[in-house]
Amino acid sequence: KGTSLLRFSLVSFRAVEKEKLEEAKGVHDAGARSRRDVDGCVKSFEKIPHTGRNGWLNLVRFWRKDYFSQLHKHQERTFRDLGPIYREHVGSHKSVNIMMPVDIGELFRAEGLHPQRMTLQPWATHRETRKHSKGVFLKNGEEWRADRLLLNKEVMMSAAVKRFLPLLDEVAKDFCQMLQARVDREGRGKEGKRSLTIDPSPDLFRFALEASCHVLYGERIGLFSSTPSMESQKFIWAVEQMLATTPPLLYLPHRLLLHIGAPLWTQHATAWDHIFSHAEARIQRGYQRLSSLPRSVSEARAAGGQYTGVLGQLMEKGQLSLDLIKANITELMAGGVDTTAVPLQFALFELGRNPQVQEEIRQQVMASWASAAGDPQKALQGAPLLKGTINVILRLYPVGITVQRMPVKDIVLQNYHIPAGTMVQACLYPLGRSSQVFQNPHIFDPRRWGSSSRDDGQKAEGSGFRSLAFGFGARQCVGRRIAENEMQLFLMHVSFRKFYRFESDIKTKYTLILLPESPPKITFRKL
């Protein structure tokens, strides 16, 4: 067995090296990607290395070894032990896991017109039991495509980004002014040179929720006041509770847990109820505000460039029913807080322990801001290191640690036959830290994602199915443009202050998204 595993690893390694050389030469034909064994035969699905055939025994092992909270590390170890592809069966969940860009590319080329990923069944069951409509995150097929194309116009297209960018910029500016006032008020040191060491995570969650609400509803909710509303604090708690209770429910018969009233299911459903209650109240206020405007006023506001938020845009166009608007706005709200606040924690930590990189970004931002004349879009375009920073953070600390697809046709990955309809997961944490994919993968270097080669002759490494934190293609994250710009604008404005990390390193855990085990403390100081 050891000899065959060694032979498999050598064949895989040589194939990967060959593929990397072919990519460098611009060779992208499918034949090079569907590699064959030395005798020209494709191996059967059953011969894919696996972590154990009995799903329920594997589930017990996951519980005992706490793999649920360290799933990203478990995947990294398993790839190291079994090679670049393996099968996993845990409870009721089955998947084939991959990590090499060449295989990920082959998977995405077989995703079809209606890409299908793993359905988060606990979420779907909540919608069904509560009689809520489903948004695009939980839909498939033609129904998904029709709704997604309408949503794209309001959240993904460049015209939409141009409309909501000033709203994100306003929130980012206000947050940084609030932060500076706090440093001046609570910091230590001489006047004008005060510094303050804090855990910024509560403030970052408030920033993310304020920014999301401003874009989605077209109004501020006042989270930067000294006494933020209990309603918003409950929403943040509910999102965290929902995320924490989802992973175990993916591997268990959740409908049985629903039937017997198990505490795990009750906690999950209660969290979703809070999320829907918060979103429903905001949507109702927005609906009443927009409905009370005479049509002529509404049209004049639109013609004058006054942005009414994603909710207002969808309602004015009337192409989605109100129930579907509610479903999608709620999904965007639930997915738009932790998924931006947490990467910003990691970004502050990495920039804090890489002061030279921080200073390089600051100089680029200051030059760009000076020439942008207050235009946030121009300011971002002139500071590409901001986008590079987000890319490298999401490579090292991907929010979602897998991207899944079910191929619509049989494919070959690592010389193994993968039948159509198989759940295949691209594992982003091992991918982002692999020395086979990135040179010096643990180095924090935003220039890695430059549009051209670096001074030392390295190839820019952000292309070719290596940067997948927001997914890929038609089924990529629908809130991608909001999240990318929200995080870049935050870093742009916060870079006008110096900050340092308090801890020397950071440990991570997984609760449907990747989090710090304990939030890093950051020291802020005015320049």
Gyration radius of the chain's alpha carbons: 24
Considering Cα of 56, then 61, then 63, then 66, what sign does the dihedral take? negative
Distance CA 368, CA 376 (A): 10
Distance CA 207, CA 438 (A): 32
Inter-CA distances, 470 with 93, 339, 406, 428, 466, Å: 23, 10, 17, 11, 11
Other Cβ atoms within 10 Å of 412 Cβ, number: 17
Strand partners, 514: 510
Provide the strand spans (E) within 66-146.
85-90, 93-98
User: Does the annotation place 477 within a ligand binding site?
Assistant: yes
User: What's the chain's length in residues?
Assistant: 527
Q: Which H or E run includes 514?
A: strand 514-516
What is the DSSP secondary structure assignment for residue 47, as one 8-state letter?
A: G
Distance CA 83, CA 100 (A): 10
CA dihedral 374, 376, 381, 386 (to 10 degrees): 120
On whether the CB atoms of residues 313 and 156 are closer than 8 A, the answer is no
Angle at 42 between CA 38 and CA 47, to 5 degrees: 105
On whether the CB atoms of residues 233 and 274 are closer than 8 A, the answer is no
Distance CA 409, CA 250 (A): 25
Q: What are 64-71's contacts with CB under 8 Å, separation 24+?
A: 68/247, 68/248, 68/510, 69/509, 69/510, 69/511, 70/509, 70/510, 71/247, 71/401, 71/510
Name residue 157's amino acid: M
Inter-CA distances, 498 with 8, 189, 214, 268, 351, Å: 50, 15, 27, 40, 10
Tokens 């890489």 sit on residue: 354
Residues annotated in the binding site for heme, as ranges? 477
Residues annotated in the binding site, as ranges? 477
